[in-house]
Structures are given as C-alpha cells and as structure tokens.
Amino acid sequence: MINFILNGEQVSSNSNQNERLLDVLRDEFRLTGAKCGCKEGECGACSVILDGKLVNSCMVAMGSIEDSTVTTIEGYSKTRRFQILSEAYAAVSAVQCGFCIPGMMLASECILAENPNPSEEDIRRGISGNLCRCTGYNAIVEAVGTAAKEGKGLW
C-alpha cells in the first residue's frame, strides 16, 4: 500500500511499487489530464507537480512517492491561480490541441511559483521540457507573462 496526498486528499494505492505514477493516475484514479506521450521524460505531456516541483510522471515509480504530495491538472484547475492562467492563455489565444496543454499549464504554474516576475528567458527555460506538437511557444510565453501581471500577489 502506497500512501500519498493527491490533489489535497490523502489516498492509498494498491499498485505495484514499480509502476509509473502516470499509469496509476490514469488507470487507478481515473485522472486523465496527464497524457502519455513518450515515456522517456522528453515531451512533458505527463507533467504533474510532485512536492511542489514539476516532474514527468512517466519517470516516477510509485514506490518513490510514499508520503509525497501530487497535484494534477484536475486538482490545479480548482485554484484561483489556474483561473488567472487560463484567462491569460485565452486572452492571447495560446490555444493548443489538448495533448500538451495540461503539462503546459502546470509548467506555467511552476514558473510563476518560483518567480512571480519571470523574464521571457525564464519562461522559455521553464517550458523547455514541454513539447508542443501543434503550433508554437510564443503565445504561451506571452500568456505566462500576462498571468504574472494579472495575478499579482497570487504567486
């Protein structure tokens, strides 16, 4: 039995310790926001926040997260910060196909959590592990910058 906190709730998983966090989130907890892209830590589609830090959930074995805190896009989407970010993404049309966007949002959150006033370079570095398959990054970079201004004091 592996105990951890998932989106603010204490949960237990019966999964094997060697299973990927990504698979357990999707199959056992039915949280399908984290997407399975590459299973090699290259694409960022499976990003979640683990103990306050952005990680690729495909690279995390369940046995390593005992007593950890995991936030997925489903949990994050209930926050005020998400709302500000979401509005900023919409305002600059940083629209994506839906595969990379959950990871992009969580990466954006971690950029702002670490530095509420990120430079363009900071933002680009922060999303460098989240690959977009559809359009590009410029609108996303702008959206994070907008959220930093609109959400002043929240981060």
Partner 1 sequence: MVKSYFAKSLEEALEIRGRESVIPYAGGTDLMIEADDQASYLFLNKVPELKEIKADAEYIRIGAASTYAEILQSQLIPQILKDAVIEIAAPAIRNLGTAGGNICNGSAKGDSVLIFFAADAKLRLVTSKGERILPIKDFYLGRKKLALQKDELLVEILLKKTGLDHYYYKKIGARNALAISRVSFAGLLDMKDGKIINCATAFGAVSDVVIRRPDIDEMLAGKTTDEAKTVKDAYLEAFDEAIVPIRGRVSAEYRKSVCMNLLRDFLESNGI
The residues of the shown chain that bind partner 1, judged by CB under 8 A, are 16-20, 39-42, 44, 47, 50, 53-56, 58-61, 63-64, 66-67, 107, 110, 125-126, 128-130
Q: Which is nearer to partner 1, 58 or 143 (CB)?
A: 58
* Exposure string for 33-52, b = 16+ CB within 10 A, e = fewer: bbbbbeeeeebbbbbbbbee
Tell me whether residue 87 or residue 116 sits nearer to partner 1 (CB atom).
116
Does residue 119 come out as left (phi exceeding 0), alpha (psi in the -120 to 50 range) or beta? beta
| Distance in Å, CB of 108 to partner 1, minimum | 12
Distance CA(97)–CA(107), nearest Å, equals 17
Shortest distance (Å) from residue 64 CB to partner 1: 5
CB 96 within 8 A of CB 130: no
| Cα gap 99→18, rounded to integer Å | 25
List the structure tokens of 19: 């299973």
To the nearest whole angstrom, how small is the minimum distance from the Cβ of residue 13 to partner 1? 13
Least gap, CB of 125 to partner 1 (angstroms): 7
Residue 41 or 91: which CB sits closer to partner 1?
41
**Considering beta carbons, is residue 27 or 42 the nearer one to partner 1?**
42
DSSP tag of 117: S
